[in-house]
């Protein structure tokens, strides 16, 4: 599946965003190495911090269905520049995505930017760091 097709899945999910508080819609779609697509939208809550971002909804849906290997993710919002994933999502993505995996961010105007996981979150805290510190 090409990046454009995955982005169209992210746009589908964008329509389902539950955003009564921010009115800021985000859609995401992850492609597994086995070729399946899992979509996510942001889901807000009256208790604001309970909100979950689109990227994490998509990846958590995939993980909960037994998927562990990903080849690509696309994220879209109606922003001026391609939407930058928040820090929490970058950390979650880094747990499951190889440093060289490509992440495509986009806006509804059609601007896109593709970067690797490592570019999105350099010098990240990894499971290896955790293991090294458990003495």
Ligand X SMILES: O=c1ccn([C@H]2C[C@H](O)[C@@H](CO)O2)c(=O)[nH]1
Residues involved in catalysis:
55
The site partner of 42 among Zn ion, ligand X, none (C-beta below 5 to 8 Å per kind) is ligand X
Told to check if 30 binds ligand X by CB under 6 A, we report no
Q: Which of 3, 16, 19, 60 binds ligand X (CB under 6 A)?
A: 19
For residue 75 the two structure tokens come to: 């994220």
Q: Which stretch binds ligand X (CB under 6 A): 19-27, 59-67, 95-103, 119-127?
A: 19-27
Q: Which residues contact 30 (CB under 8 A, 6 or more apart)?
A: 37, 38, 40, 58, 59, 62, 70, 72, 73
Q: Measured between alpha carbons, how far is residue 83 from residues 28, 57, 64 in Å?
A: 11, 16, 25
Residues 38-67 that bind ligand X (CB under 6 A): 42, 44, 51, 53-55
Q: Residue count at the site for Zn ion (CB under 5 A)?
A: 3
- Which residues contribute to the site for Zn ion (CB under 5 A)? 53, 86, 89
Known binding-site residue numbers for Zn(2+): 53, 86, 89
């Amino acid at each position: 599946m090409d990046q454009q097709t995955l982005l169209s899945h992210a746009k589908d999910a964008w329509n389902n965003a539950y955003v009564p508080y921010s009115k800021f819609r985000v859609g995401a779609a992850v492609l597994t190495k086995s070729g399946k697509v899992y979509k996510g939208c942001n889901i807000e809550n009256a208790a604001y911090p309970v909100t979950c971002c689109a990227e994490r909804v998509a990846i958590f849906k995939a993980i909960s269905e037994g998927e562990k290997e990903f080849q690509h993710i696309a994220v879209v919002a109606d922003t001026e520049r391609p939407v930058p994933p928040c820090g929490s999502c970058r950390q979650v993505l880094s747990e499951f995505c190889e440093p060289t995996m490509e992440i495509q961010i986009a806006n509804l105007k059609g601007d896109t930017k593709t970067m690797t996981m490592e570019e999105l979150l350099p010098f990240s805290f990894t499971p290896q760091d955790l293991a090294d510190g458990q003495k």
